[in-house]
Structure 1
């Protein structure tokens, strides 16, 4: 039986912090308020979308880290890998899509729905279409798992690449990205090209894979004090990058992703050693649970923010109203994410994996007869 690498708990917990970043970036009420303090907060919270960059780099790292033993022993199966990834993404994706259809009244006027957009969204291919009505359709945040699905399919090929070829692939992506940064096309949305585009965003994923390969190959033992310094330093690097980007960088195309890759990669590297004081704090079982539930949090938070705005109709210029609304959004999102993780994600994942294992067993039995 293939032995797995140990779970890095600090990276699990950090997933929820990244999801919280995306959450606060969707709190449009802050920028719409006449209260100056809320406007200042909104200016910085807007950068929360960079949580997606962290997710993609971390995804590449964890996928390679988790399956490295299988690859070393020649037991990596493309079919098994894709089924396991589908089991991870699709149950929550489909449930969240159904929730959107019912909660926002699409089912009452089904004829008015863009059926093509619905099909693309359900199949997780919407991120390939450079039109916001498609890639932000229904549950807008699902565009990012459309990219994730592309990364997983690509990993089946990338896993065969030696690190130097993988690095060359990354360099090509970066060069093409830089070319378009200097020469933005007029007939394609810059938002799609630099933020949504799976062919550019896979660069984040590849960086994670490369970091994981180096991390596993070197197996360096670092003293706790140095680990702590790396963790604190990486978070300061992130804070510095956000501050500079918010106040001094006006070119949005570079802020969509490229500007934040170094600090996000540094955070993944620093916390991968899982040996510093912050890592110990993040290894708290409640924070780990929140990290495990972060995918459900990510998939449902926009629905909750939007529906509560409709139900509560908070006064945007009243401090107590705004704070109460945000607390309700956060509390319900966290509560629902844990329920979803326990009652949807875990059971569905287990059912799909078991069904796949039984099907494989039947096929192998038939072949042996």
Structure 2
């Protein structure tokens, strides 16, 4: 039997998106009642690290699914078809809501967001303007622009250099909070969390770990140790200094978890997030990520705060259900059609993807497809 898909990683995408959702419940103040608010902040206080998961997973999946004979133009066209239509469709209501709410909207806010360059501007009104979560898409756009060059260089690394290069990249992630101290203090948050160049090492780490797995250099110790490590890092990172808490404290455990789960999928070993529903939720998670904060802000604005805890929990559950339903609609009406319409046409001379032996882990042939989409 062969295994070229990575369904468990698709399921993990939903967990990451849900953690971001939980984090934003507190940000909008929808649940802020006594013990309920305290529990929410304890559970989801580090939920924003789901963005790190997406950045690392993006590098891993793009390297895993790299195609023989692909060109930068075709790669960029596929990435545009996957990412931009959903962004544009959510940008329009975000602009409408901002205007109706009387929020100050300027041309730099509107157009840098529209063209996904707002993360490069160290102004919170710009990089968090409009649909605030879209700042991460500006980082992804930069990663995609760089991928053909970065991947071409990393694929030339000899196998013996893969782990040293991976460890060096992990070290860079930890050094960034130190390096930004040369900047004025009011730029530290932007420089660590938002600045695309600072987030590039996470993407590169994903690429390197995909190569490690392909080369059969991943330790065959299962997924449980890495699940425990990721959960422990999530909890413990809350006590780190702020500069290390928001990225460095969790990025490496999340990266190791991604690689371990990919190995489990290739070897067809059991993992809870391989179920049909988990994979479905993972498939709509990108749309969910773009919609959920707009929904939370709308509900918070309409219903206000300081309700009994039962009412607050009910509002959260209704918002979650509506966001999932809206994500499904966005996925089937925009995301999938856009990939067919705007993506590159299949070339008649393209090679047929070859199956990948599932066990033991062996290098994956170029041209295979991943079950995870980014």
TM-score (norm 1): 0.83
1:65-104 equivalences under 5 Å are 65-67=64-66, 69-70=67-68, 75-104=69-98
| Aligned-residue offset at 1:271 | 0.5
Which of residues 349, 354, 357 in structure 1 aligns to 2:345? 357
Q: Please list the CA deviations of residues 154-206 of structure 1 after superposition, one character each: whole Å capped at 9, or x if unmatched.
A: 1111122133599398479447615426x352255211011111111000000
1:209-224 equivalences under 5 Å are 209-218=207-216, 222=220
Paired residue for 1:41?
40
Structure 1 residues not aligned, in runs of 5+: 362-369
Secondary structure of 1:137 counterpart: coil
Which of residues 186, 191, 202 in structure 1 aligns to 2:189? 191
1:162-173 equivalences under 5 Å are 162-163=156-157, 167=165, 170=169, 173=172
Structure 2 Cα separation of the partners of residues 261 and 26 of structure 1: 20
Structure 2 Cα separation of the partners of residues 184 and 305 of structure 1: 37
| Aligned-residue offset at 1:245 | 2.1
Structure 1 Cα separation of the partners of residues 61 and 280 of structure 2: 17
Structure 2 residues not aligned, in runs of 5+: 349-374
In the alignment, is residue 282 of structure 1 matched against residue 281 of structure 2? no
Secondary structure of 1:33 counterpart: coil
| Aligned-residue offset at 1:315 | 3.4
Structure 1 Cα separation of the partners of residues 305 and 318 of structure 2: 11
Q: 1:105 to 1:253 in 2, by over 3 A?
A: same
Q: 1:239 to 1:90 in 2, by over 3 A?
A: same
Secondary structure of 1:130 counterpart: coil
Kindly indicate whether structure 1 or structure 2 has the higher relative contact order, using CA contacts under 8 Å at least 6 residues apart: 2
Q: 1:196 to 1:221 in 2, by over 3 A?
A: closer
Let me know the Cα RMSD of the aligned residues: 2.9
Structure 2 Cα separation of the partners of residues 309 and 241 of structure 1: 31
| Aligned-residue offset at 1:139 | 0.3
In the alignment, is residue 319 of structure 1 matched against residue 317 of structure 2? no
| 1:30–1:39 contact (8 Å) kept in structure 2 | no
Structure 2 Cα separation of the partners of residues 243 and 176 of structure 1: 21
| Aligned-residue offset at 1:130 | 1.0
Q: Which has the higher helix share?
A: 1
Q: Please list the CA deviations of residues 112-134 of structure 1 after superposition, one character each: whole Å capped at 9, or x if unmatched.
A: 63112211111101111111111
TM-score (norm 2): 0.82
